[in-house]
Copies of this chain bind each other. A is one copy, B any other.
Amino acid sequence: MEKVLRVARLFDLYGDLLTERQQEFIRLYYEEDFSLGEIAAAFNISRQAVYDTLRRGEALLEEWEEKLGLLQRNQCWSRAMNRVLKLLDRLQVRVGGDEESLSLIEEIRGLVNPFQDSWGKGGEQC
């Protein structure tokens, strides 16, 4: 289960670097829950060929993560931003009813927050 999640996350980050076929098999196997046999049947190839393609794709994802470390940085960053959100909550309590402070805090929240989801992909709107 942990492996499934890890592959899914790496696939989100680096999937576009894989070949079409590697992408397709990983999607079917990890996201659509197809079995090796089902993929083999659908593509009219051997179970072994499906297995090899999957293993090769996974190895590449891990290799890229080892070299670029996006998943790890993503997690570090996410942790830091969650901490910032908590600190902002505390700050909000401190400033009480001061409207300008509240609106500054709100703007900071907006800048810190949206990136958390969009970081994985398509975070281009800026």
**Number of chain A interface residues as a range:** 35 or more
> Can you list, as one digit per residue, whether each of A30-60 has a CB less than 8 Å from chain B (1) or not (0)?
0000000000000000000000000000000
A126 touches B87 (CB 8 A): no
B91 touches A105 (CB 8 A): yes
Q: This chain: how many copies in the complex?
A: 2
**Chain B residues whose C-beta falls within 8 Å of the C-beta of A125 in the assembled complex:** 76
A5 at the interface (CB under 8 A from B): no
Q: Closest CB of chain B to A86's CB: distance in Å?
A: 10
Partner of A111, one of B72, B73, B80: B80
Q: Which residue of the partner chain B has the closest CB to A90? A: B104
> Can you name 23 A-B residue pairings with CB atoms under 8 Å?
A16-B67, A17-B64, A17-B67, A70-B70, A73-B123, A75-B126, A76-B123, A76-B125, A79-B126, A80-B115, A80-B126, A83-B111, A84-B111, A84-B112, A90-B104, A91-B101, A91-B104, A91-B108, A94-B95, A94-B100, A94-B101, A94-B104, A112-B112
